[in-house]
Amino acid sequence: MDLTFASLSEISEAVTAKKLSAKEVATHFQQRVQALDPKLNAFAALNPDVIKEADAIDARIAKGENVGVLAGVPFGIKDMLCTKGLATTAGSKILSGFIPPYDATVVSRLKKAGVVIMGKLNQDEFAMGSSNETSFFGPVKNPWDLERVPGGSSGGSAAAQAARLVPGTIGTDTGGSIRQPASFCGIVGVKPTYGRVSRYGIIAFASSLDQAGPMVSTVKDAALTLEVISGHDPMDSTSSQKQVPAWSKNLSSDIKGMKIGVIKEYLSGGLEADTQKTFDEALATVKKMGAEIVEISVAGTEFAIPVYYLVATSEASSNLARYDGVRFGYRAEFPRLSGVELEEFYGKTRGEGFGAEVKRRIMLGTYCLSSGYYDAYYNKAGQVRRLLTEQFIDAFKKCDAILSPVTAAPAFKLGELVHDPMTMYLNDIFTTSTNLAGLPGMSVPFGLSQSGLPIGVQVTGAHFEEQKMLNVAYALESVSSVKGKNPHVI
Ligand code: GLN
């Protein structure tokens, strides 16, 4: 077995059967991180106890314990998720020095399944961005082309996975942050149905949109990881009671007779040529495999970007009010605190602790929520969001899954859009509606651009219909031109 490229279950089966120790696995990937991460900047923090944790897994196996389906598999975790005893900053200076006293439910479930935490992955500050350039830790590089962005906000997860610094990673997706970087880096990224995965211990950006999910190398690995992290959690009142199906055991690339929806409103052109070609080929492929293509209308998608940027910024302005310099992380320096007015204390701390993009969002969101504008912006956005959701529910009466592009073009160059927030926001054109409607969506690598950059296609499912979505992706993966190709950095 070539450990670098092994699947999650290959690793855990070998560790469980004592053909390989968890320590050997952890050491192998630790060496990869040491050798390659200086080029990528994918990690925000490394777990100093990774070998100790691997030893503990080996000790349990030696005692005959059944460790779990991810026994001894190292994972990287986006810095949005709290990890007990391990620095968690959401890519922000304002959380520098914050060591969570508990694990996010996603993390505790991974650990319970035998995962060893390699470290925390770089990201856009508070997950606000599409290029990983707003991080306090500096930008992440795309392993396919070091001059390009890995996408964002889960850029560290995508880059670390694509370069196989770890066998698996976790990202979060509020408006596309799992799917867009997965597409830019040629990996599989799944945003589950809202409520499928507990948000407990995940640093809140926009609570009604946020979901965590797997960013891994194959659809099968994604299905397996999703099984581990999904399911009801009493600590998150929005988490669903629904049973978690055995997705990984029911994967099938037989999509004959399935109805695949294509959103009419997305067909107006504007895609970069290689992206258009990839999408057309994906459609032709599912058709050849016996699926039926049906055109559907989801007129509300036209408003997805403005609605998203009203809802997400409003929720963010409220969520980020907690960073006051008293309870967590960073506090501005004052020669002496006595005599300092509270407003000055907050103002200086928040002024120094947040980056420009986060400040922009807080101001936008505060404006949307201010009395006098609340009805015109926040309330109106909520109404359009409801309409959009209903249109999707109607559309799924006519199809089993929807196929669309993930972005309009492959990975752009570092620095290209960072000073143009509006164009950066438009990057989310195909991804935000999925979050607004609470649907599951994923990116599966499918095409390569002329210059050799990976291009994903997006599969969206109906609420809690992850299996159908995964199966369509599994079918596409079986003939993907990215399969077997590796980024230059490897
Ligand atoms: N790019 C989007 C934004 O900047 C999405 C972010 C996300 O999904 N976390 O808000």
Distance 151 CA to ligand 1 centre (A): 10
Cα distances (angstroms) measured from residue 262 to each of 161, 271, 350, 396: 30, 15, 44, 11
0.95 exceeded by the pTM?
yes
Cα separation, 83 vs 79, whole angstroms: 9
CATH class held by domain 3-253: alpha beta
- What are the residue ranges spanned by the domains of the chain? 3-253, 302-382
Average pLDDT over residues 238-259: 98
Give the binding-site residues of ligand 1, using a 6 Å CB cut-off.
Answer: 127-130, 153, 173-177, 205, 312, 428
Placement of tokens 């101001």 in the chain: 363
Cα distances (angstroms) measured from residue 113 to each of 9, 17, 126: 12, 16, 28
Tens of pLDDT, residue by residue over 22-72, are 999 999 999 999 999 999 999 999 999 999 999 999 999 999 999 999 999
Distance 305 CA to ligand 1 centre (A): 11
Tens of pLDDT, residue by residue over 364-383, are 999 999 999 999 999 999 99
Cα separation, 151 vs 129, whole angstroms: 8
In whole numbers, what is the pLDDT of the chain averaged over residues? 97
3-state secondary structure of 271: coil
pLDDT at position 426 is: 84
78 in active site: yes
pLDDT at position 429 is: 94
Query: Atom of ligand 1 at shortest distance to CA of 128?
Result: 4
Dihedrals phi, psi of 328, to nearest 5 degrees: -130, 150
Q: Tell which residue, 146, 157, 134, 260, has the closest CA to residue 205.
A: 134
3-state secondary structure of 170: strand
Catalytic site residue from 177, 183, 239, 404: 177
Average pLDDT over residues 333-346: 92
Indicate whether 427 pLDDT > 90: no
Tens of pLDDT, residue by residue over 92-134, are 999 999 999 999 999 999 999 999 999 999 999 999 999 999 9
Query: Side by side, which strands form the sheet with 74-78?
Result: 43-46, 116-121, 74-78, 168-173, 211-216, 188-191, 441-448, 454-461, 401-405, 259-263, 292-296
Q: Percentage of the chain surpassing pLDDT 70?
A: 100
Average pLDDT over residues 261-276: 93
The H or E element containing residue 8 is: helix 8-16
pLDDT at position 167 is: 98
Tens of pLDDT, residue by residue over 70-92, are 999 999 999 999 999 999 999 99
Average pLDDT over residues 342-354: 96
Cα separation, 257 vs 268, whole angstroms: 27
Q: Percentage of the chain surpassing pLDDT 90?
A: 95
Cα separation, 93 vs 272, whole angstroms: 36
Indicate whether 423 pLDDT > 90: no
pLDDT at position 295 is: 98
Catalytic site residue from 92, 153, 314, 480: 153
Average pLDDT over residues 6-18: 98
Dihedrals phi, psi of 402, to nearest 5 degrees: -115, 140
48's CB contacts (< 8 A; 6+ apart) are none
Query: Atom of ligand 1 at shortest distance to CA of 205?
Result: 9
Distance 41 CA to ligand 1 centre (A): 20
